[in-house]
């Protein structure tokens, strides 16, 4: 309000804006648009970048296993190789998430792809350990920045009914990154290339998909919701949307709904926003601790289960887990997320993860024989993907208001990547000091903690972004009293 007083509106109290129902806003055009070719274009452009993120982050597990032997690295040095990009992603998500709310999604979208190319190429030509770690940190800055922009751009282009599916499709490109990484490793090792050539090629190939999306991202228009709501350019947003959609959205005009912008200070001090940050960032932290700690350390985990397996054997076992369990989980998530519910699916996934990890930790025979371990550990991967690995990416793109959407997602992604960094360092130490079973018990506790913090989040499925965030009222400001978060 003009006097600066915060206003609280319950859903049933939101007054009418007086706008003619026949002239929609840009957000309403997007909410009710049928799935069309322009949605698929947005998925491909965002998804290619996310494939690059996944490949670059997870291929390092195999590279670290090679370098530990060739460069005679200690456990701590190996963890720095594995965790360098993740630590960079922690900072990149914060910085570029905020910049995308200030400068616009499109500018940051292209910038982070360029940084990923630079980081991947520098990593491939690393002459020593320090140079490699620094190069991976640079790569991680781009990866971290890509998380909030990829998720939010797709969320803001999506319609109301299919938003979870469309954002989930972007995230499902991680599945290809998980599969392509081990395949590249097996292919290069089987070709008889030296270890030095193999790991350098594995890292350098990460620049290829990032380079491929530079042109596509440059041609993609600014997010219509951001341009209309934050910059006030409603007619331009409608025209660009009409052009990008290729006629799928017929109207090339839209009315505007003006409201005061939520400042960064208000965002960081408002109880409701802080609760949403707790739910999204907390769940992502606990999930990434378990997921990245287990996935990047998978070669060493499999070594404990099957001590006589060669590196190629472990790559095939890793590939089997991803193809048999993880890939179907991604597909199930894309298919069912909007029906099951985004928050509810996260709760289900954390529950199954905690159960599987606890079983492996408590029953000794399950970690001493390959087949039962692969079955239960793999089953946890099914509900990892059909659960919090997808939903921790989707939910932060939905619950924050548009002017703080990439900021909020960046905070959640950054805290998540810090959890991954902790996992990459802590999991190998736990394996050495408390064994594989003890490490899995800690992972079960992390999954349970992720479940608990998820309970504070709203259910965004089938609701508009403006309704979920509370910004649908033209005088929306940071409320002093938080509306219900369990709707």
CATH code of the domain containing 200: 1.20.1250.20
Whether the per-residue pLDDT at 16 is higher than 90: the answer is no
Residue 26: the pLDDT is 82
pLDDT tens readout for residues 156-167: 999 999 999 999
Question: Where residue 255 falls among pLDDT bands split at 50, 70, 90?
Answer: low
Instruction: Tell me if 340 is assigned to some domain.
Output: yes
What's the pLDDT score for residue 248? 67
**So what's the pLDDT on residue 373?**
86
**Residue 16 maps to a domain:** no
State the Cα torsion 442-444-446-448 to the nearest 10°. -140
Angle at 73 (CA atoms; ends 444, 177), nearest 5 degrees: 55
Range of the domain at 345: 24-469
Burial of 221 (0-12, 13-18, 19+ CB in 10 A): middle
Residue 9 lies in a domain: no
Residue 80 belongs to a domain = yes
252 confidence band (pLDDT: 50, 70, 90): low
Asked whether residue 368 is domain-assigned, the answer is yes
**Does pLDDT of 371 surpass 90?**
no
What values do phi and psi take at 235, rounded to 5?
-65, -40
Task: List, for residues 178-209, the tens digit of each pLDDT value.
Answer: 788 888 888 888 888 888 999 999 999 999 98
In this prediction, residue 28 has a pLDDT band, given cuts at 50, 70 and 90, of confident
Banded pLDDT at 480 (limits 50, 70, 90): very low
Residue 57: inside a domain = yes
Q: Which residues touch 248 (CB under 8 Å, ≥6 apart)? A: 33, 34, 36, 37, 38
Of 53, 471, 450, 445, nearest to 262 by C-alpha is: 471
Look at residue 431 in the predicted model and tell me its pLDDT.
75
Choice among 36-40, 120-124, 482-486 with the minimum mean pLDDT: 482-486
Say if CB 156 and CB 226 are below 8 A apart: yes
Q: Indicate whether 367 pLDDT > 90.
A: no
Q: Is 373 exposed, middle or buried (0-12, 13-18, 19+ CB in 10 A)?
A: buried
Number of domains, the chain: 1
Cβ atoms 407, 400 nearer than 8 A: yes
- The C-alpha atoms of residue 109 and residue 313 are separated, in whole angstroms, by 38
In this prediction, residue 210 has a pLDDT band, given cuts at 50, 70 and 90, of confident
Query: In this structure, is residue 448 part of a structural domain?
Result: yes
Residue 14 lies in a domain: no
What confidence category does residue 314 fall into, taking pLDDT thresholds of 50, 70 and 90? confident
Q: Indicate whether 482 pLDDT > 50.
A: no
Q: Per this entry, what is the length of the chain?
A: 487
Q: SS3 string of the chain?
A: CCCCCCCCCCHHHCCCCCCCCCCCEHHHHHHHCCCCHHHHHHHHHHHHHHHHHHHHHHCHHHHHHHHHHHCCCCHHHHHHHHHHHHHHHHHHHHHHHHHHHHCCHHHHHHHHHHHHHHHHHHHHCCCCHHHHHHHHHHHHHHHHHHHHHHHHHHHHHCCCCCHHHHHHHHHHHHHHHHHHHHHHHHHHHHCCCCHHHHHHHHHHCCHHHHHHHHHHHHHCCCCHHHHHHCCCCHHHHHHHHHHHCCCCCCCCCCECCCCCCCCHHHHHHCHHHHHHHHHHHHHHHHHHHHHHHHHHCHHHHHHHHCCCCCHHHHHHHHHHHHHHHHHHHHHHHHHHHHHHCHHHHHHHHHHHHHHHHHHHHHCHHHHCCHHHHHHHHHHHHHHHHCCHHHHHHHHHHCCCCHHHHHHHHHHHHHHHHHHHHHHHHHHHHHHHHCHHHHHHHHHHHHHHHHHHHHCCCCCCCCCCHHHHHCCCCCCCCCCCCCCCCCC
pLDDT at position 82 over 50: yes
- Count other Cβ atoms within 10 Å, centred on residue 296: 26
Q: Which of 12-16, 296-300, 353-357 has the highest mean pLDDT?
A: 353-357
Q: What is the pTM of this model?
A: 0.85
Tell me the pLDDT band of 408, cut-offs 50, 70 and 90. Answer: very high
* pLDDT tens digit sequence for 278-299: 999 999 999 999 887 776 666 6
Planar angle of CA 237, 241, 247, nearest 5 degrees: 145
């Amino acid at each position: 309000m003009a006097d600066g007083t915060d206003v609280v509106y319950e859903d049933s109290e939101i007054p009418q804006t007086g706008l003619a129902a026949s002239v929609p806003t840009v957000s309403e055009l997007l909410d009710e648009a049928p799935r069309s070719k322009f949605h698929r274009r947005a998925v491909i452009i965002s998804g290619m970048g996310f494939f690059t993120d996944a490949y670059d982050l997870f291929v390092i597990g195999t590279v670290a296993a090679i370098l530990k032997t060739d460069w005679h690295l200690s456990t701590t040095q190996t963890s720095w190789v594995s965790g360098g990009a993740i630590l960079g992603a922690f900072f990149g998500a914060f910085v570029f998430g905020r910049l995308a709310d200030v400068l616009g999604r499109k500018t940051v979208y292209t910038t982070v792809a360029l940084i990923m190319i630079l980081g991947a190429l520098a990593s491939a030509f690393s002459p020593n350990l320090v140079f490699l770690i620094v190069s991976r940190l640079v790569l991680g800055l781009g990866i971290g920045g890509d998380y909030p922009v990829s998720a939010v751009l797709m969320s803001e282009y999506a319609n109301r009914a299919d938003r979870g599916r469309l954002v989930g499709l972007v995230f499902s490109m991680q599945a290809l990154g998980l599969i392509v990484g081990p395949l590249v490793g097996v292919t290069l090792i089987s070709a008889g290339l030296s270890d030095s050539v193999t790991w350098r090629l594995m890292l350098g190939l990460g620049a290829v998909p990032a380079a491929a999306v530079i042109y596509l991202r440059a041609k993609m228009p600014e997010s219509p919701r951001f341009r209309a709501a934050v910059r006030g350019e409603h007619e331009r947003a409608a025209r660009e949307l009409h052009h990008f959609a290729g006629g799928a959205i017929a109207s090339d005009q839209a009315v505007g709904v003006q409201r005061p912008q939520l400042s960064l200070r208000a965002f960081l001090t408002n109880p409701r926003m802080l609760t949403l940050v707790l739910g999204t960032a907390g769940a992502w932290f606990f999930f990434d601790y378990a997921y990245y700690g287990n996935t990047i350390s998978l070669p060493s985990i499999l070594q404990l289960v099957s001590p006589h397996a060669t590196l190629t054997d472990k790559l095939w076992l890793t590939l089997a887990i991803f193809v048999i369990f993880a890939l179907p989980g991604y597909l199930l998530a894309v298919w069912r997320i909007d029906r099951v519910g985004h928050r509810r699916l996260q709760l289900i996934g954390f529950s199954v993860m905690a159960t599987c990890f606890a079983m492996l930790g408590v029953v000794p025979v399950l970690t001493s024989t390959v087949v039962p371990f692969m079955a239960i550990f793999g089953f946890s991967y099914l509900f990892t993907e059909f659960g919090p690995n997808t939903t921790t990416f989707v939910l932060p793109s939905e619950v924050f208001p548009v002017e703080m959407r990439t900021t909020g997602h960046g905070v959640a992604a950054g805290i998540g990547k810090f959890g991954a960094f902790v996992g990459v360092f802590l999991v190998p130490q736990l394996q050495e000091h408390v064994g594989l079973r003890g490490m899995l018990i800690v992972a079960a506790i992390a999954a349970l903690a992720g479940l608990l913090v998820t309970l504070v989040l709203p259910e965004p499925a089938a609701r508009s972004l403006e309704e979920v965030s509370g910004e649908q009222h033209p005088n929306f400001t940071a409320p002093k009293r938080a509306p219900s978060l369990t709707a």
